[in-house]
Each structure stands twice: as C-alpha cells, then as structure tokens.
Amino acid sequence: MTSSPVFKDLVLIGGGHSHALVLRQWAMDPMPGVRITLISPQVLTPYSGMLPGLIAGHYRFEQTHIDLVKLSLWANIRFLQEKVTGIDPEAKILKLENYPDIEFDVVSIDIGSTPDLRIEGAAEFTTPVKPISEFYCRWQLIQEQAHQQQIKSLAVIGGGAGSIEVILAMAYKLKSSDLSLNYHLVTAADKILPNYNRIVRHRVIKQLQRYQIIVHTSSRVEKVSQGSIHCQKLQLINADEIIWCTQASGSSWLKQSPLECTDTGFIKVRQTLQALHHEHIFAAGDIAEMLENPKPKAGVYAVRQAPILFHNLKAILLDQPLRGYKPQDDFLSLLALGKKTAAGSKYFLGFYGDWVWHWKDSIDRKFMAQFQQLPELSMLKQTAVNPKLIAEDEKTEQHEPAKRCAGCGGKIGASLLQQVLDEVLGNNAYSPKDAVQINQKNEIIFQSVDAIKSPFLDAWLFGRITVNHALSDLYAMNLAPGSVQLLITLPYAGQTIQKRQVKLLIQGVASQLEKLQCRLLGGHTSEAGELSIGIVANGTASEQTFHKHGLKPGDRLVLSKPLGTGVILAAAMQNQCEGKTYNAALESMLKANNQAARLLSKLNVKSCTDVTGFGLAGHLQELCMASCCAAKVQLNNIPLLSGAEMLADQNIKSSLYSQNRTMIADLKLDKNINSKAKFDLLFDPQTSGGLLAGIPAETYKKLDNNFHQSFYTIGEVCQPDELHAWIEII
C-alpha cells in the first residue's frame, strides 16, 4: 500500500494536538522511505479548547474530536488502537498492552497528562476531567441524576482556567433545565486565576456569582471521602458529585522508564524537543517539560510546537541540523464562561463579552476544520528514497522495486526468515523442508487454499484476519482445522523493516492459529508490490460434513455475521469512512467462524457456505443451484455493519461489486426494491464474512434465544418451480 520501499520506522505515541498537526503536514509533504505508526488507546482525540462548549451543549461530540482512524487512513499511515506500557530506548522497542512489541528508529510522545490522584480518596470518590472521553460519559450520567434529583450539590476542585470553564459550563447546562443545585469551586490558591490580569479575574468572579457558585479559596484538599471534601484547618465541604480538575502528572509507564522525567512524570526535553540523553526520542504537548524555558501546560504551546517537531523528525532521520523551539512569552487566552460569552487576555489587556466567545468559537472551529475537511492528496510525483535513510550495508543493493529480481530471486533471505521464525515460534523453529507430512492416523484430510492482498497497513492485524478468512472454508464444511502453510508476499523494503514486517505478520498468524488450535507447518516467501498472504489449510471431519447442496424447501436461511466489510474498506480507501464504522468492520473480521460452525453442527444442517468474495447473493445462488432449490430473502432482515448502509447510499461500492451484480442475472424483485441502498449490499464482497446455512424447518421451530443471538434469520428455501429465478428479494 506504499509507493516506495520503506527503510525507517517513525512511531508517534498519542494523538495530541502536536501529533495531529504533524500527521496532517506529513501527509501533504511526505518523506518516501519512512513508515509512520500512530499509537493511541482512543480512536477519537478531543480538542481541549472546545471541552467547555461540549459540556455546555454548544457543540456535538463529533465536532470536538479528531477521528484518528479517519486521519490515519487519509494520511496512509499505520494506526494501532493500543496503550503503550513501556519503552526501551536503547533497543528501540515499545511494549504494548495487547499487541506484540513495536520496534522504531525514531519515536515521538504526545500523550498529554493524566490526573494526579495521589490525595487520599481522590481516585475512589472523584471524577477526573481527563481523559475527556471518560469524563464526558460521566457527565451524561450526572445530568440524568440531577434531573432525577439524586444530586443536590456539585464541586470542582481546582482554581485554574480549566476548572473555571468546566464549572461554569456545567452550571449553565444544568440551570438551563431549571435545576437548582449548589455549586462549589475549591482551590488551594489565595485567589482564582492567579496568572490572569485583574480585568479578567473581575469578570470571571462576576460570572461565578451570577451562577451562584461558592468559591472556596485557600482550601487545600487533604482527603476526599464519599460526598465530602476534607480541607486543611478541618474545613469540610459536602458535595454529591466531585470533579477533579487540578494539577496532573505524566503517565505511570514514563515514570518507570529510563527516560529522564520530572518528579511528576513529565519528560524533560531540550529546545529541539528531544529527550535528554536520547537523540531519537522526542516529546511535545503537555507531556514535555521544557528545561531552558519552562511554561505552563497549555494547548497553544502544543500547536506551536508542531511545525518544529515536524521539521526535527525529518531532520533526525536524515542526519540534518535540528531547530530549537522558542515558546512565546505570552499568548492569547480565551475563557468560555458557560453561556456563549467569554473573557480574554493578552499581555496587560483584558476583554469580555459575547463577541469574545464568537471569536474563540471561530478560532476553535478553524482548528478542527483542518481534520474534518481533509483535502484530497495528489499522487506522489517523486518516490525516490533519500540515501541517508538506507543502512550502510544495504546501499549497494538494488532498491527500485520495479528492478528487483523476480522468480526464485524474489523472496526474502534465509537468515532473515530464520531470525523471525526463531523469535516468534521458538529456537530451531526454522527447519527447511521440501514438503511436510499432513496425513496422520489414516484420517481423510480436506484441503483448501485462499489468498488475499492486504487492505491494512497493520501486518499483525492482517495476519489474524487472513487466518479467519482462510479457515472459514473449513468451518463452512464443519471441518476441524489441523494445519496450514503460508505463502507470504512482502513489498520490498530495507532488511530491518522487512524483518519487522514479516515478524508482525507471522505473530498475527500464529496467535490466531493458536486460538483456533491449528498448527503452522511452514510456507514460502516472495517479494511483490503489495503485502499479501496465501494460506493452504488442512482440516479433518470428526462429524457429519456440510456441503453446498442439501437445501430443502421450508429450510430457514440463517447468517452468522452482518454484511458491509467490502463497502467499508472501499470507503476507507476513498477517505469516506468514519473511524467507528471502520472499527466495527475490523471487529467483525476478527471474529472467527468456529463457534458458528459448532452451533450449526448440532442442528442437522446439511447445506452451508461462507460468505466472502461473491457476496451474500452470489454465495446463496451457489447453494440454490447445487440443491436445485430457490430462496426467498427478506431484505429488511439482512444484518448490516454500522455505517454500511449510509456508505452504500452514497454510491460507494467495492471494485468487485459490478462483477458480483452481473453474476446474478435473474433475480425476482419486489417493486422498487433494487433502488434501495441495502439491496446493493447483497453483492458486497466480504472479507472474513459469516456462515450462511439452511436450518430444517422442524429444527428451526425448537431453537432458543441462544441461537437467535448468534444468527440472523434472513429468509427461507422454496420449491424451484415457484419462481422464475434462483433468488427472490422481498
């Protein structure tokens, strides 16, 4: 999926403001030869400047969040929805929570800050404002409880700008529903907004008074218990809901890492945004602590750091001079004050009014428009890789993919393959053989073969999905997978990158095979323009096998998975797919068909197939023709993945759609049914699709909720002479 060979890995940890801007700029001005990976536990990353407006109801959730999946698909980078748990700066390895180790050449960290909940009871009895996604869910519950009069008082701990904006937004939203609550703002400082000028502070105090918010200054919190805030000098403040919006700290994995951090866990960085003592590690945004010119944590600095970070990441990869980041001494600060009004300051100036809010709104919307209105990227005219990215011992090799050897010269080297197999499968796993024995104990061995090219930049994910896709042929016959062999085709890259790629791929394949109790026997490799896997799968029959023939009139047609992976993957390639829609497709493709096959095997099923490239209509026609029967399908009963019908309504189609549609020449249709977008999805090719089977009528009557939670009933089998076509859609 890349147009030039890869020689270096750049990994961005976190989807903060700096990284979002760097990704956008990199997509517009890429560096051939560098693969970028973005790692974030969240698919949607919030723009903090719009949080008060989100709480107050001025914005919808999607208006205030950057869709990292959509951004990554547009920028053609690998996105991993994962949490980093550790870093080895010397080995250049990242530890992830639910994913194999990731190797890097250069890494940048922009993960923001986390709540500092070390005060007794804070973790148990308060709601931190960060992460915003979790806080926003809690805010929905708070509103419900307030409407049901289960909450009488609410407190926010903290006296900075963020605390002010949060409590005023909450008070505005709740008071607009005529709810009478007591509000408390608790701060250890002698006054609120100590770093703001007198004009702004005066306006904010007036607004707090207008919303009848009680301000507790010089009230350092010593302990929190259920419904109570215990301050110094035995002061006690009662509140049914307590929001924690005070000083934050760095992530725990950074505190435990070899990186030099502050006592609160922020990474110490130089003017170049490089970590101390580690040239290849960068940090930006709130997680970075500037040593030479320290500044308070504010989003404006993250935005201003992005161009410097973008330049320096490219420069370090090419061994070129880096630039220093010089933060401005002061910046425009605009505070939202609940209703659509705001106060602002810069230097000694202060201003206030509805016009200030509209000014702030314009700035915020302009920032977000960069990620919500992504421009179409032109094809790269120049794909030549800068020689500085290539390792010295590889510079004499032929690096133009079109000029690389084909035939038996077009595969990866034995030493690289041996290293990978030993690392993934254990020492001595690499044992070359010309053939492997698969027939054991005189069992009858069934064999299938399948191959797909990768629509993903994540090789580990691709390996897992390909296993599910290939083994579905066996599950569709009620066979037990026993072993597989692979044909791996890798895009040409530098040896280090190629090793990382094939290692992740085999790790993905091996992990999924292990879950499905199937052995990896061996395989073969080759080089080509795109990543692909071919799988020869061997299975045995322990019970009655399913076949394509065997449908009987009266059988009920059932399907184990929703449709839509084809249109969703097509939309992703066209930058028309939302992150949540894309992730729904991934979740479906990662679900194997072993459980569905096991359930069908207990139900006297004779006819079954898996729904893959020919689409539901194509594979159903195969069953009907083999069984000399017809099928009546209820279009409204066809299950669809979230977002698939909307994409089909936009006339987005997989490239295989037209062939699938013409293959089904004779369909009997109700009036106007073929004008519905849902109809098109009957011909949508499915990657790792579900099982389609016929359940005998008498058996179907006895099925319980367990079955109906696993399968969708989509129609029934008819006598062939009742119709003039194999399939009728009603």
Are the CB atoms for 560 and 515 separated by under 8 Å? no
- Give the mean pLDDT of 471-500: 94
The pLDDT of residue 476 is above 60: yes
Q: What angle do CA 677, 579, 497 make, to 5 degrees?
A: 120
Residue 91 confidence (pLDDT) above 80: yes
pLDDT at 404 over 60: no
Written as one letter, the residue type at 210 is R
Other residues' Cβ atoms within 10 Å of the Cβ of residue 109: 29
Pairwise CA distance, residues 571 & 277, whole Å: 44
Q: In the structure, what pLDDT confidence band is assigned to residue 401 with cuts at 50, 70 and 90?
A: low
Sequence spans of domains, the chain:
8-113+250-331, 122-247, 406-540, 556-729
With a cut of 80, say whether residue 600 has pLDDT above it: yes
Structure tokens at 396: 């004499």
Q: What percent of the chain shows pLDDT beyond 70?
A: 92
| Residue 408 pLDDT exceeds 60 | no
What pLDDT is recorded for position 434? 47
Taking Cα atoms as reference points, which of 331, 353, 48, 345 lies closest to residue 206? 353
DSSP string of 614-657, one letter each residue = THHHHHHHHHHHHHT-EEEE-GGG--B-TTHHHHHHTT---TTH
pLDDT, tens digit (0-9, with 9 covering 90-100), for 429-441? 656 554 455 666 6
pLDDT for 253 beyond 50: yes
pLDDT band at 388 (very low <50, low <70, confident <90, very high): confident
Confidence of residue 249 (pLDDT cuts 50, 70, 90): confident
Question: Which of 155-169, 170-184, 626-640 has the weakest average pLDDT?
Answer: 170-184
- Judged against a pLDDT cut of 60, whether residue 280 lies above it is answered with yes
* 8-113+250-331 is classed CATH 1.10.150.120: no
pLDDT at 411: 53
pLDDT-derived band at 105, boundaries 50, 70, 90: very high
pLDDT of amino acid 479: 93
In whole angstroms, how large is the CA radius of gyration of the chain?
Answer: 30
CA atoms within 13 A on the CB side of 21: 22
Fold identical between 8-113+250-331 and 122-247?
Answer: yes
Q: How many CA atoms lie within 13 A of 124 on its CB side?
A: 10
Pair 15, 109: CB distance under 8 Å: no
- Confidence bin at 264 (pLDDT 50/70/90): confident
Of 3.40.50.2000, 1.10.1380.10, 3.50.50.60, 3.30.420.40, the CATH number of 122-247 is: 3.50.50.60
Out of 3.40.50.300, 3.90.650.10, 3.30.380.10, 3.40.920.10, select the CATH number for domain 556-729.
3.90.650.10
**pLDDT(54) > 80:** yes
* pLDDT score of 406: 47
Of 215 and 401, the one with more pLDDT: 215
Output the furthest CA–CA distance in the chain (Å, rounded): 90
The answer, yes or no, to whether residue 405 has pLDDT greater than 60, is: no
pLDDT at 274 over 50: yes
**What backbone phi and psi angles, to 5 degrees, belong to 712?**
-105, 130
| pLDDT recorded at residue 409 | 44
3-state helix, strand, coil in the chain (%, to 5): 35, 25, 40
Mean pLDDT of 295-304: 77
Answer yes or no: are the C-beta atoms of 162 and 128 closer than 8 Å: no
Read off the pLDDT of each residue in 126-150 and give the average, rounded to a whole number. 90
Q: What is the pTM of this model?
A: 0.89
How far is the C-alpha of 406 from the C-alpha of 483, rounded, in Å?
29
The answer, yes or no, to whether residue 417 has pLDDT greater than 70, is: no
pLDDT at 128: 92
Average pLDDT over all residues of the chain: 89
Residue 516: pLDDT band by 50, 70, 90 thresholds? very high
Instruction: Place 127 in a pLDDT band, splitting at 50, 70 and 90.
Output: very high
**pLDDT, average across residues 276-294:** 91
The rounded distance, in Å, linking the Cα atoms of 726 and 502 is 44
Looking at residues 647-656, what average pLDDT do you find? 92
The edge-to-edge listing of strands for the beta sheet with 691-695 is 608-610, 691-695, 556-559, 712-718, 630-633, 727-729, 667-669
Q: Which CATH architecture has domain 406-540?
A: 2-Layer Sandwich (3.30)
Mean pLDDT on 650-672:
82
Helix (H) or strand (E) holding 107: strand 106-109
Does position 118 have pLDDT exceeding 60, yes or no? Answer: yes
Q: How confident is the model at residue 174 (pLDDT cuts 50, 70, 90)?
A: very high
Least confident window among 179-188, 200-209, 264-273, 379-388? 379-388
Euclidean distance between CA atoms 165 and 337, whole angstroms: 6
CA 131/CA 115 separation, integer angstroms:
8
Query: Does pLDDT of 1 surpass 50?
Result: no
The total of other beta-carbon atoms located within 10 Å of residue 328's CB is 10
pLDDT (0 to 100) of residue 399: 66
- Letter string b/e over residues 291-313, b meaning 16 or more CB atoms within 10 A of that residue's CB: eeeeeebbbebbbbbbebbbbbb
3-class state of residue 670 by DSSP: coil
Asked if the model's pLDDT at residue 616 lies above 70, the reply is: yes
Question: Does pLDDT of 67 surpass 60?
Answer: yes
According to the model, what pLDDT value does residue 665 have? 62
Residue type, 214: I
Q: What is the mean pLDDT of residues 470-476?
A: 95
Number of residues written out for the chain:
730
Residue range 635-652: mean pLDDT, rounded? 95
